[in-house]
Amino acid sequence: MRAVADTNVYISALNFGGTAEEVLALGRANILQLFISPSILQEIEGVLLRKFHWSATRTRQALAVIQGFAQLVRPKEAIHFIAEDEPDNRILECALEADADLIITGDHHLRGLKTFRGIPILSPGEFLETHRRGTHE
């Protein structure tokens, strides 16, 4: 399954664990094929440095780990669909470029869409519940 995880999934996994960390663990195990763009990486970096006061070294290490399991794509189509939070559009761009099967996010602007151009948008918990059902049926 091809998926794009929103910045908040990476941030939550790195700082708090929980369902977001479980999602990334599936990516690291190649059970879930995760895609990321340079814009998402830049946003992760900025949040870790500014909001969570991570050191530059620790931040670089985290980004290197992410790049080790998430495939980098460079979106060609610019999207301006979500006016309330413009950076959320980078997630949509990445999902389209990656031909993703789903978007995983905790962001209320994205989750409110439910789908975007046929791509389902799920919270980490919703995704894990669906994944567990699918692997046990």
- How far apart CA 134 and CA 14 sit, in angstroms, is 26
Q: Is 105 helix (H, G, I), strand (E, B) or coil?
A: coil
pLDDT tens digit sequence for 10-39:
999 999 999 999 999 999 999 999 999 999
Residue 136 has which token pair? 């046990």
Q: Which residue in the block uniquely carries the two structure tokens 């910045």? A: 7
Give tens-digit pLDDT for 52-83. Answer: 999 999 999 999 999 999 999 999 999 999 98
List of residues 6+ apart from 30 with CB closer than 8 A: 69
DSSP state letters, 24-52: HHHHHTTSSEEEE-HHHHHHHHHHHHHTS
**Cβ pair 42, 74 in contact under 8 A:** no
| Residue with the two structure tokens 């985290």 | 62
Structural domains in the chain plus CATH codes: 2-136 (3.40.50.1010)
Say which residue the tokens 């995704």 belong to. Answer: 127
Mean pLDDT over 114-132 rounds to 96
State the pLDDT at residue 135. 66
